[in-house]
Structure 1
């Protein structure tokens, strides 16, 4: 309220070279816009609320639904979010998103937070802790959880947990103080009248095994790379990308991509091709830029007969003419 009054008062103050004057002080009125602005300022200063801009930065290209695998992941996380929100018996839920680098774990976590309608969301990333000592990192993590406990419903995202604990496989070496802080807080039941959903991401299974992190979580969700040509086709034809590409070119690209491929890598090559060829997106240009990034293409001799295995498995019988159609 005090901040809202301050904002309302500032509208009636005029600054000039001769000094400061107040115009019509008797008619100062506090509007809803003043209250909203005061609330935003309070959130920023106290660390409350949802960091929408920060979360959106982790999903600049939107979230692409590439098939049944993605739908299962999304449905599972949505159900867990609902459970924490509605169940009186679930005051703490810890979820681990596990998968290869570039598989979209951070984007999925950010999208979950944006659509959760939780009043408090805090995302902790290794970038936040650059230049901090182990003790400072532990204190910052503890402060984030303390803020979450002050609200009835909150979500904490801990991204790239292997970098958070400074894990190095040789040794192995890691920041033990940070690790112990995470192990305690991830399993700590919130105070009464408070529920917390903790979502962590990890790209290195060695961390989970060597540091016994997997056992910390109630639920482990695997986020794989794109495994089938159908997944690649779904990405290329998604409305979020708005690609100027024919169906034949899409099929050619999906056949030639060496699988599995991370969705992050695929989107990077798509954007490279789009910028280079804004008028027409072709498989040839895509393949050229895919190879330029160090990724592989499936040999044409193999790509041509990708349909042969499923056809035989289905018990189909065909002659040489039918084989030619698979090309």
Structure 2
């Protein structure tokens, strides 16, 4: 991980515009800097007797504006003033900006780098299920890396690849890590956002996400299903332009004052990842396995979809390790099976015979594909 331990580099100048003026990338202020900015503006209002200083909680405002840049903080202050004017329209001589005015302004003024937690939640619709010790180990390992990285003063970049069979829960793990990281900027890059895009356009979109992330003091980017981003069919068929762009961005040190955590997910075999020189582009790689019979029990028992006597038979029928996504698909099919489900102890239970039919159907689809 020596590459990840490099000292911060100075902020690079981007290519100037046509007038020859260099463009410098700005970094979002951290919480202490936001507190200083808000303090300056509140002091100005105090001097003009516009502020109800006794109830103003600047530390709370600084904490709740983690994705605001300087201009947006100024806009927040102006919006609070406007709410105070509207509230005091019958007596302008008594205008006082209160904490409530700032709280109302927070509902109106939104940062450009808005909170992306709700977007990440879409990638784990079932929440973070208990999938057994092996999945828990992967999750705990990356979370530990993320927290140490967050506190480190020497490491501006950390990259981690989650590899394993398709449907093994890699995206849900990555989304959970992104949500729990507490980083102000979080973005997931997926192929769904790049349908019918040219190679050049894909590269530009991916690069923009990384450039935007570098404007925040702490950011997490998830490169989901890297094989789909590459248009990967087999080792000789994929976009070399997109691959080179991703490798370059994974090795590009963020500017001073910015920390970037990148989590990739991929179902490409480790051997092919090595051949593509993609595996070595990540500091760490961890395998996310399919569910073992013990893991399946960990999933099925809390879901309470089988009678207790049927769980062993259901697991035996599966007869192999399977990805969590496939298990959930079969459960969903069996639950929607009409006469195939029944009520027991207040819960809808799955009839084992209908579960067997769903298993046969999914096996048929797997063989065809």
TM-score by length of structure 1 reads 0.77
1:155 paired with 2:220, answer yes
Stretches of structure 1 that go unaligned for 5 or more consecutive residues are: 14-22, 297-327
1:114 paired with 2:171, answer no
1:291 paired with 2:366, answer no
CA separation of 1:131 and 1:244: change in aligned 2, threshold 3 A: closer
Aligned to 1:143: 208
Q: What is the number of residues matched between the two proteins?
A: 278
Q: How does 1:6-155 map to 2 (within 5 A)?
A: 26=92, 31-39=101-109, 41-42=110-111, 46=112, 48-155=113-220
In the TM superposition, residue 119 of structure 1 has moved relative to its aligned partner by 1.0
Give SS of 2:255's match: coil
**Of 183, 186, 197, which aligns to 2:261?**
197
CA separation of 1:129 and 1:253: change in aligned 2, threshold 3 A: same
In the TM superposition, residue 281 of structure 1 has moved relative to its aligned partner by 2.1
Structure 1 residue ranges, 4+ long, deviating more than 3 angstroms after superposition: 3-13, 23-30
1:258 paired with 2:319, answer yes
Q: Per-residue CA shift, 1:119-172, capped at 9, x if unaligned?
A: 1111100111123222222121111111111122111110011111222327x2
Q: How does 1:305-324 map to 2 (within 5 A)?
A: none
Partner Cα separation in structure 1 for residue 104 and residue 198 of structure 2 = 39
In the TM superposition, residue 283 of structure 1 has moved relative to its aligned partner by 2.2
RMSD of aligned C-alpha atoms? 2.5
Q: Per-residue CA shift, 1:175-234, capped at 9, x if unaligned?
A: 22222211111011112222111100110126413422111111110001012x211111
Moved more, 107-116 or 251-260: 251-260
**Of 42, 63, 75, which aligns to 1:2?**
75
Stretches of structure 2 that go unaligned for 5 or more consecutive residues are: 1-73, 344-348
Give SS of 1:63's match: coil
**Of 231, 238, 259, which aligns to 2:295?**
231
Q: Per-residue CA shift, 1:86-126, capped at 9, x if unaligned?
A: 11122211100000100000010001111111111111001
Moved more, 268-277 or 258-267: 268-277
